[in-house]
A and B are shown apart, each in its own frame.
Chain A
């Protein structure tokens, strides 16, 4: 905690958990999709389900999907902007098991037909936790620059990525490898102290054992 956690952040209202956090989850879904979304089905659970209209949680998630940060005043009009930009949005209220009260599940489809499911929770003060990407349970907060890299579950996959990061002087703050089973695909989530350039992300994506490389920029405060 520092003084700008108390006097700040700058955000659109009305609620840091129900609006700012929701926008951040939407924004992370957009970065993980890596392309313009054309369709999104958004499911709200718990307090989000009860109050999403009044808190603008729906507008915040959609604004995030359109690439807006939590302080972007266009979030207020994001539903109309989505329609104009060809993003079709639907909402549903659901009851999930063992989920934080402020949970949203975003099922997004990109312009190339690529699909992605992201589950995130807004845990207070605009802070969030991403809990699931597609079928894989994960846990990261977006407080750091975060690389999400699905890869072949084989020796050398992790080293091939971390070697390149070391070469480019990128320090790893936290790292975890998720493996749902032994069927061959796993996922690295790497939080770094430095920003990752687009070129570096492309370089990582081309590694033989890497399936995809996605980069989520550190949350702007």
Chain B
């Protein structure tokens, strides 16, 4: 359990105690898990290490997934980054490369750290690792960002959902992006209130996004949506750091995300029956991967 029911509560406590959100999350989880601060940070740094390894694997291997739908794009984008051919600047470019690298590794059964899920595992690590490299942060500082993201994630999971099968992609990649935006603000030295605004702005940007994976696999559009989730987080963090506020408070945005998810047709909740999965090309790819066996099973069920 987490001792805070809303982001507002978390921000007010941080302001009152003049602490960062990550400090409050760590203090809360020390009690919850019966671990010391060092033990908690150590475990989070282990997760950070897995995230770094996943990026490296994704960049060097260029491995295709079993379905053949994904693989090799992180390498391609990294060549553009290395050749100074990206429009958005180094931090932005690095975040996109890392997000795709991790999502591709996930698709090839490589080792990843779910954050908050496997399908969205590229977003938060990408922005935290890119920011750590560009801002010169230590592992311990980067891990603090992950605790901030984890605190936001626990609140979203309790108030709404972090699962595509329950709330669509807005709940899965959307939550990851909102968590990442809040973490980025803290890593860049912004206030807890700015972090909450970044969280709200990021989530607002993806409200209504459906989960429509081609052939039901975590590849199309999931790999590139991880990159978009990272881009969305960076945009939201930049706005919040400049002092822009979300007109709709973050907790109300989270509630809206839940209401939209509840009203969303099951076709758009990871069933591969709507959206991109139900396009002519999406259906053709599914048929090519699973053949007629897929159709046969569908009838049985």
Give CA–CA (A47, B216) in the complex, Å.
Answer: 9
Give CA–CA (A76, B111) in the complex, Å.
Answer: 10
A173: Cβ under 8 A from any B Cβ: no
Most buried by B among A47, A54, A73: A54
Within A155-176, the residues touching B (CB, 8 Å) are: none
Query: Could you say which residues of chain B place their CB within 8 Å of the CB of A1?
Result: 1-2, 154, 157-158
Q: Determine whether the beta carbon of B117 is less than 8 Å from that of A125.
A: yes
A2: Cβ under 8 A from any B Cβ: yes
Select from chain B the residue with minimum beta-carbon distance to A94.
Answer: B300
Within B30-82, the residues touching A (CB, 8 Å) are: 32-33, 40, 43-44, 46-47, 50, 65-67
User: Considering only CB atoms and an 8 Å cut-off, how many residues of chain A contact the other chain?
Assistant: 37
Separation in Å of the A99 CB from the closest CB of chain B? 10
Q: Determine whether the beta carbon of B66 is less than 8 Å from that of A12.
A: no
Separation in Å of the B42 CB from the closest CB of chain A? 12
Q: Determine whether the beta carbon of A54 is less than 8 Å from that of B215.
A: yes
Query: Could you say which residues of chain B place their CB within 8 Å of the CB of A9?
Result: 113-114
Select from chain B the residue with minimum beta-carbon distance to A76.
Answer: B109
Separation in Å of the A165 CB from the closest CB of chain B? 23
Select from chain A the residue with minimum beta-carbon distance to B1.
Answer: A1
Give CA–CA (A4, B297) in the complex, Å.
Answer: 36
Contact of A54 among B1, B153, B289 (CB under 8 A): B289
Select from chain B the residue with minimum beta-carbon distance to A50.
Answer: B297
Separation in Å of the B112 CB from the closest CB of chain A? 5
Separation in Å of the A60 CB from the closest CB of chain B? 8
Known: A20-B118, A54-B67, A95-B300. A12 touches B109 (CB 8 A): yes
A15: Cβ under 8 A from any B Cβ: yes
Q: Determine whether the beta carbon of B112 is less than 8 Å from that of A10.
A: yes
Query: Could you say which residues of chain B place their CB within 8 Å of the CB of A11?
Result: 111-114, 118
Separation in Å of the B133 CB from the closest CB of chain A? 19
B110: Cβ under 8 A from any A Cβ: yes
User: Considering only CB atoms and an 8 Å cut-off, how many residues of chain B contact the other chain?
Assistant: 58
Choose, from B83-91, B144-152, B186-194, B247-255, the stretch at the interface. Answer: B144-152
Q: Determine whether the beta carbon of B47 is less than 8 Å from that of A14.
A: no
Give CA–CA (A124, B270) in the complex, Å.
Answer: 12
B160: Cβ under 8 A from any A Cβ: no
Select from chain B the residue with minimum beta-carbon distance to A93.
Answer: B297
Within A112-129, the residues touching B (CB, 8 Å) are: 124-126
Separation in Å of the B268 CB from the closest CB of chain A? 16
Choose, from B100-108, B230-238, B258-266, the stretch at the interface. Answer: B100-108
Select from chain B the residue with minimum beta-carbon distance to A20.
Answer: B118
0/1 interface trace, chain B 156-181, chain A, CB 8 Å (1 if under): 01100011010000000000000100
B246: Cβ under 8 A from any A Cβ: no
Known: A3-B29, A54-B216. A13 touches B109 (CB 8 A): yes
Select from chain A the residue with minimum beta-carbon distance to B295.
Answer: A50
Give CA–CA (A147, B7) in the complex, Å.
Answer: 41
Separation in Å of the B98 CB from the closest CB of chain A? 15
Give CA–CA (A56, B294) in the complex, Å.
Answer: 15
Separation in Å of the B158 CB from the closest CB of chain A? 7
0/1 interface trace, chain A 1-25, chain B, CB 8 Å (1 if under): 1111111111111111001100000
0/1 interface trace, chain B 206-236, chain A, CB 8 Å (1 if under): 0000000001111100000000000000000
Q: Determine whether the beta carbon of A50 is less than 8 Å from that of B113.
A: no
Query: Could you say which residues of chain B place their CB within 8 Å of the CB of A47?
Result: 216
B121: Cβ under 8 A from any A Cβ: yes
0/1 interface trace, chain A 171-213, chain B, CB 8 Å (1 if under): 0000000000000000000000000000000000000000000
What 15 new A-B contacts, CB under 8 Å, besides A3-B151, A50-B216, A51-B215?
A: A6-B149, A6-B150, A6-B162, A7-B147, A10-B50, A12-B112, A13-B106, A14-B118, A14-B217, A15-B118, A16-B118, A46-B301, A53-B66, A54-B217, A125-B117
Which 5 residue pairs of A and B lie closest in terms of their CB atoms, listed nearest first? A13-B106, A6-B153, A3-B150, A14-B218, A76-B109
